[in-house]
């Protein structure tokens, strides 16, 4: 006897099966008149990215490559942070003296939750949406590392910032099945009674160091 569950699964399999020629024709006929490439220069693109981050209540610091460690120290002192978790392959030259940085080597969720925050790099960013894309390969850090702590300090290089979402999608395709996370500002939701609450499913505070 057929069950409702089997009927639903049968429909799903039918939809996910080989694409018929008629469906391919419909797909090819879809209008794609949205902006697929960027038109802004580097400075305009970075200004747009920063403006979007400010809209999300993220704090942005700008620095030259040789001043990353100095800027990290400034950000941490500003937020009274002294101990951060870091991804396994985060460059040592980015770490200022006088702070405790612990590389994640299979830390428990409880250990991650007990930390003061996390510091990572990104793989690229999207100016028009103010989105940062994180890659979770073995050296880049686990997804849990950027979801559990209440504070996230992220290093973004100017040449990693693309302008549009279609450009970002093409960038994502190059990483195959490596897990990616997209974040647009600190974690927040207004699902309950339209009251905005931060830190529900990710860091409450996002700091970005934009390296130019």
pLDDT for the residue 20: 56
Backbone angles phi, psi at 15, to 5 degrees: -70, -40
Chain-centre distance of CA 157, in angstroms? 14
pLDDT exceeds 60 at position 19: no
Ranking 35-44, 90-99, 119-128 by mean pLDDT, the lowest is 35-44
Does any domain span residue 156? Answer: yes
Closest CA to 64 of 199, 171, 157, 162: 157
Does any domain span residue 203? Answer: yes
What is the total count of domains within the chain?
1
pTM: 0.81
Per-residue DSSP letter, 187: -
Query: How far apart are the C-alpha atoms of 74 and 135, rounded to whole Å?
Result: 26
Structure tokens at 36: 């697929």
Does any domain span residue 92? Answer: yes
Cα Rg, the chain, nearest whole Å: 21
CA angle (127 as vertex; 124, 132 as ends), nearest 5 = 40
pLDDT exceeds 90 at position 187: no
Query: How far apart are the C-alpha atoms of 59 and 78, rounded to whole Å?
Result: 11
Does any domain span residue 10? Answer: no
Does any domain span residue 184? Answer: yes
Domain interval for residue 180: 40-211
Does any domain span residue 17? Answer: no
| Strand segments (E) across the chain | 59-63, 83-86, 100-103, 118-121, 124-126, 131-135, 151-157, 161-162, 180-183, 188-189, 197-198, 205-211
Of residues 105 and 211, more confidently modeled: 211
pLDDT in tens, 55-87: 989 999 999 999 999 999 999 999 999 999 999
CATH number of the domain at 207, please: 3.40.50.10420
Ranking 95-104, 116-125, 129-138, 194-203 by mean pLDDT, the lowest is 194-203
The residues that bridge with 135 in the sheet, in sequence order, are 180
Backbone angles phi, psi at 82, to 5 degrees: -130, -15
Q: How long, in residues, is the chain?
A: 212
Could you give the percent of the chain with pLDDT greater than 70? 88
For every residue of 109-120, DSSP letters joined together read HHHHHTSS-EEE
Does any domain span residue 50? Answer: yes
Does any domain span residue 148? Answer: yes
Query: How far apart are the C-alpha atoms of 6 and 140, rounded to whole Å?
Result: 41
Chain-centre distance of CA 49, in angstroms? 13
Closest CA to 56 of 119, 129, 151: 129
């Amino acid at each position: 006897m057929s069950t409702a569950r089997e009927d639903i699964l049968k429909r799903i399999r039918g939809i996910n099966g080989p694409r018929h020629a008629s469906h391919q024709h419909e797909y090819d006929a879809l209008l794609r008149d949205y902006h697929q490439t960027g038109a802004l220069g580097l400075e305009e693109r970075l200004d747009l990215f920063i403006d979007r981050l400010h809209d999300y209540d993220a704090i942005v610091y700008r620095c030259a490559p040789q001043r990353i460690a100095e800027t990290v120290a400034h950000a941490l002192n500003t937020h009274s942070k002294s101990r951060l978790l870091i991804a396994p392959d985060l460059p040592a030259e980015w770490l200022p003296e006088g702070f405790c940085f612990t590389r994640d080597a299979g830390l428990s969720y409880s250990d991650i939750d007990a930390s003061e925050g996390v510091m990572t790099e990104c793989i690229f960013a999207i100016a028009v949406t103010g989105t940062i894309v994180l890659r979770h390969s073995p050296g880049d850090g686990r997804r849990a590392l950027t979801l559990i702590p209440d504070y996230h300090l992220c290093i973004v290089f100017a040449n990693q910032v693309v302008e549009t979402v279609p450009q970002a999608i093409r960038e994502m395709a190059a990483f195959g099945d490596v897990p990616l996370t997209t974040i647009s500002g600190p974690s927040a939701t207004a699902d309950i009674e339209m009251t905005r609450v931060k830190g529900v499913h990710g860091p409450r505070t996002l700091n970005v160091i934009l390296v130019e």
